[in-house]
């Protein structure tokens, strides 16, 4: 899970997606399906995150958000190289289907190609010419989805939560800070979670990571101090 003059769908989805598998670097990436109850701009929605094999040493992570008069989807294919993951390709799309969302959510579809042989990333589809690339890649670069996977992994391992994100035609640093421990509810049960926060001007993203869970128990995105997107985990399998 773009409205005119708002951050791109990929940026929002990356924020919402603060998720994924691998509790620690020593553990193998494993498939999962996670269901969330969501609130988006005051509208109720549902979200599903999945991780599945996509070939030898490759995986596909997908996020689908719907049920609020709009459909927002994103998927990333990545390659496992030892303890590192690197993006190979990604797609994201959005469209309003009915009601207020049909007026506010602009139809858009973008594809990203991470060409590691040439060492650059390029964007195609509904993108402006100055955001089409190429952008030079560096070892360790991530896209939004892989940043989410690395975030969950690194919280468990106690590593710095500092990443170089390559998407939307640019590269930029993304740094999260640990903000203590809090109790969260998942499926009616209480769990102790590590709270991590990233602030970027008027935007604030908070995620609650529970040890042993392959996805965050909750993700909250705020703008100008007001809740924008709130995802709460209901089940994971």
Cβ-based neighbours of 162, under 8 Å, separated by 6 or more: 173, 174, 175, 176
- Over its length of 237 residues, how does the chain's per-residue pLDDT go in tens digits? 444 444 554 445 444 444 433 333 345 689 999 999 988 777 788 999 999 999 989 999 998 888 767 778 899 999 998 878 999 999 998 876 666 555 556 788 999 999 999 999 999 999 999 999 999 999 999 998 888 888 888 999 999 999 999 999 999 999 999 999 999 999 899 999 999 999 988 889 899 999 988 888 999 989 888 888 899 999 999
Q: Which DSSP helix (H) or strand (E) runs through 12? A: helix 9-16
In sequence order, what DSSP letters do the residues of 40-60 get, joined into one string? ETTEEEEEEEEEEE-STTEEE
CB 226 within 8 A of CB 220: no
| Domain ranges (residues) in the chain | 9-176
Q: Which DSSP helix (H) or strand (E) runs through 145? A: helix 144-157
């Amino acid at each position: 899970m773009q409205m005119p003059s708002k951050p791109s769908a990929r940026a929002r989805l990356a924020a919402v997606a603060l998720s994924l598998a691998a509790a620690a670097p020593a553990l193998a990436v494993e498939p999962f399906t996670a269901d969330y109850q969501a609130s988006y701009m005051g509208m109720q929605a549902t979200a599903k995150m999945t991780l599945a094999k996509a070939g030898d040493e490759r995986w596909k992570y997908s996020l689908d958000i719907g049920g609020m008069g709009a459909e927002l989807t994103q998927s990333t294919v990545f390659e496992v190289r030892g303890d590192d993951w690197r993006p190979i390709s990604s797609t994201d799309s959005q469209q309003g289907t009915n009601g207020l969302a049909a007026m506010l959510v602009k139809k858009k579809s973008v594809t990203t190609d991470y060409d590691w042989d040439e060492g650059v990333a390029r964007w195609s589809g509904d993108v402006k010419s100055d955001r089409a690339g190429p952008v030079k890649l560096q070892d360790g670069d991530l896209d939004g989805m892989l940043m989410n996977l690395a975030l969950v992994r690194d919280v468990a391992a106690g590593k710095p939560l500092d990443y170089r994100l390559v998407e939307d035609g640019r590269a930029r640093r993304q740094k999260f800070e640990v903000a203590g421990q809090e109790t969260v509810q998942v499926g009616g049960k209480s769990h102790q979670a590590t709270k991590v926060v990233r602030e970027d001007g008027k935007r604030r993203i908070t995620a609650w990571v529970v040890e042993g869970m392959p996805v965050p128990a909750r993700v909250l995105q705020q703008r100008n101090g007001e809740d924008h997107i709130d995802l709460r985990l209901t089940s994971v399998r």
